[in-house]
Amino acid sequence: MSFVSWLAAGSAGIVGALTAFVWKIGAKSQQPRVVANAEVPEVEADWREVLFTSSGSVMKGWLLLPRFGADSREPEKLLPAVVVAHGWGSNRTRVLRYAHPLYKAGYAIFMYDARSHGESGAIKAPSALMFRDDVLAAVAAARGIGGIDPERVSVLGHSLGGFGSLLALDHGLKVRSVITDSMPVRFETMMEAELKRKKMPFFPLAYLIPQIWLWRAGITRKQFRAANIPEVLGRRAGSARDGRTPVLMIHSDGDDYIPAADLHRLKEQLPAKSVTTLFVSTPGHSSSERDPAFWDRVLPFLEKTLRV
């Protein structure tokens, strides 16, 4: 073998090894850490487990129902409901932090494990579009539960659960309102956050891994381009009087995982009053609800959109 042939073979081997290494990283990063649920939700509410399906996978969730005491207002025959969607690497137990103020206010709550999370069925390549489809399936399941008013359902989505909820507006999601908490607006933000968490270099992985994710999940470039949050909100968000869906977007300026800068930029992009925004001051990615301002805005928003 000549030197040139030897060099070419060696270079091809190096490229092949690097390609296999990046592919392995991409495939591994597309499998969220599975976190076990509590056996019993720690709530002062009646509850039961609910099974439903999303794209053929069995899903598990909890339905929480408020207890109406003697000092409560008269319970309604059909309850308004809030579907709670968790984020990447989380589960329904971790979003119980939202539950207490909601069932105390008289709302039924339906929270579930997305596919490849908690106790729901696993798939090969989870994605943001999976979260979208799981929200659609969960809302359909909640609307079919006896005792819940199918015409008065809202969604509260944390992080990627919020991202999927907004994408679902373009795919027939019929809810009274959507609330997002600590949601990434751009795919690039998600990638940067995940690479930072794993202490891996942004370049060139941020340009290579998304291609692996899309290929493994069977997502076309057209579908990827359509998953554009500013454009979806421009088409779907707004006043119910105009046939649109009211959207409240919340983010903490202390979020060190998904920076609040995403929402600040989005607010500047969108037409005035198309969405309502709130910035709170709590540390970390999963603590916005600890700021009293969170519930001071969320509960009146739900009252306005669900009680009518």
**What ranges do the domains of the chain cover?**
35-186+228-306
Cα–Cα distance, 166 to 155 (Å, whole number): 10
Which residues have a Cβ under 8 Å from the Cβ of 72 and sit 6 or more positions away? 66, 106
In CATH terms, the fold of domain 35-186+228-306 is Rossmann fold (3.40.50)
| C-beta of residue 128 within 8 angstroms of C-beta of residue 162 | no
Identify residue 4 by its one-letter amino acid code. Answer: V
The whole-number pLDDT of residue 178 equals 98
Rg (CA), the chain: 21
Query: What does the pLDDT look like over 64-82, one tens digit per residue?
Result: 999 876 555 556 689 999 9
Among 146-160, 185-199, 247-261, name the one with the lowest average pLDDT.
185-199
For residues 6-24, average pLDDT: 66
- The answer to whether 47 and 41 are in contact (CB under 8 A) is yes
Backbone angles phi, psi at 89, to 5 degrees: 75, 15
| Local confidence band at 295 (pLDDT 50, 70, 90 cut-offs) | very high
Q: What pTM did the predictor assign?
A: 0.92
Q: Would you report the helix, strand and coil content of the chain in percent, each value rounded to 5?
A: 45, 20, 35
pLDDT of residue 68: 77
pLDDT digits (tens, 9 = 90+) for 187-233: 888 878 877 777 777 778 888 888 999 999 999 999 999 999 999 99
HSE of 233, CA atoms in CB hemisphere, 13 A: 29
